[in-house]
Structure 1
Amino acid sequence: MTERREGPAGELVDVVDEQDRVVGRATRSEAYARRLRHRCAFVLARDPQRRIFVHRRTTTKLIFPGRYDMFVGGVLQAGETYDAAALREAEEELGVSGLPAPTPLFRFCYDTPEHSWWSGVYEVTCALPVRPQAEEVAWHAFLPEAEVARRLDEWDWVPDGLEAYRRLLARGR
């Protein structure tokens, strides 16, 4: 077992195989550096008007700094379920408490030469005023889907979120 270090890079994560079965543990920074497959939760947050919460990540983020994302979420901690992580991450990144449980939509493995993680994709309606974490979110807005569609080829999106969004659209959501 790897020793826990301070900060997000030192959080322990479950390392999983191609079937999403736990095969070990590592720190988040080790998982990234050694391309160890781990788990993430992506949550598409909508307001009551069905607009999508879109944000630009801060430039201090460990991965994909300064890019736009239409999902909130993040890495599952060791032993954490996708459902628990989806709610925890959505509340943390939106800066709210009392969200309803996000609805699970599908899972997929995001696998590139640089990164590999299983991704649980969720959706939630947020009727609360958002106060995103300044260390996570540099800019944010709730945008209509048509606006998000127009921006897909214009903005520099996080590639895993973009793939998840395209898969979501292909499912007719």
Structure 2
Amino acid sequence: MSTAYQRVADPSQGLSKSEPVAIVDEQDNVVDVVPRWRVRKDNLRHRATFIFVRHREAGKPVPASWQDELFVVQKRALIKDYCPGYLDACTGGVMQDGEEYEPSARRELEEELGISAASLTPLFHFLHEDSVTKVWGGAFLCDYTGRLADLVLQPEEVLSVETLTLGDMVARSSAGEPFTPDSMSAVKRYIAQLEAKSN
């Protein structure tokens, strides 16, 4: 049985515990600013970025179908204040107070994977809410053409990376592997978007 979906015991001990985070309402309007530890402790609605990092290594053929495309999946560091040790389908994270979605996504890409000056394609804006997290997400697509081994992982955030198709993510999550629930919400929305475009 998966132990999926837990926080660290005390979110006030996280590395970013004092970082100011904007709290938003159901329409994504800012209504307050609190320290990050309060966001986790009280499950307050906030903003985050979700970047699908599509791995198209230079010199290799591009897949004929989106179903065969590979994406970079992270294994989250064990000191994370949300779902430590889980697989995460997206790069990204909680937005700082005053940040806009795209600049935040660029910052997270560079911090977590060492990808700078990336070309980002906006995908969708979505609300995910459950008993552990409430988040307005801005989803983006980034193409990475380098080698997986050349990514520069931020040790405080990322233990390791692998590549999976979107379908593999859904299958492994359904089989009980612990993926972050908010990133899987993003995956399912992205699949629906791609299916609609291909019909």
Q: CA 1:142–1:12 in structure 2 vs 1: closer, same or farther (change >3 Å)?
A: same
Alignment partner of 1:68 out of 82, 87, 101: 87
Alignment partner of 1:112 out of 114, 122, 130: 130
Does structure 1 conserve the Cα–Cα contact (< 8 Å) formed by 2:126 and 2:136?
A: yes
Q: Tell me how far 1:145 sits from its aligned partner.
A: 4.3
| Alignment partner, residue 134 of structure 1 | 155
Q: How many residues align?
A: 167
Does structure 1 conserve the Cα–Cα contact (< 8 Å) formed by 2:40 and 2:81?
A: no
- Return the index of the structure with the highest Cα Rg: 2
CA distance in 2, matches of 1:35, 1:106: 23
Paired AA for residue 134 in structure 1: P
Instruction: Extract unaligned runs of 5+ from structure 1.
Output: 1-5
Q: Tell me how far 1:153 sits from its aligned partner.
A: 2.4
Paired AA for residue 75 in structure 2: R
Q: Tell me how far 1:149 sits from its aligned partner.
A: 4.6
Does structure 1 conserve the Cα–Cα contact (< 8 Å) formed by 2:121 and 2:142?
A: yes
CA RMSD of aligned residues (A): 1.8
Q: CA 1:113–1:125 in structure 2 vs 1: closer, same or farther (change >3 Å)?
A: same
CA distance in 1, matches of 2:20, 2:93: 13
Larger deviation, residues 80-89 vs 45-54: 45-54
Q: Tell me how far 1:172 sits from its aligned partner.
A: 1.7
| Alignment partner, residue 71 of structure 2 | 52
Give 1 or 2: higher helix fraction.
Answer: 2
Q: CA 1:16–1:146 in structure 2 vs 1: closer, same or farther (change >3 Å)?
A: closer
Alignment partner of 2:108 out of 89, 111, 122: 89
In the TM superposition, 1:22-33 aligns within 5 A as: 22-33=30-41
Give deviations 1:49-73, integer Å, cap 9, x for gaps.
5420012111111110010011000
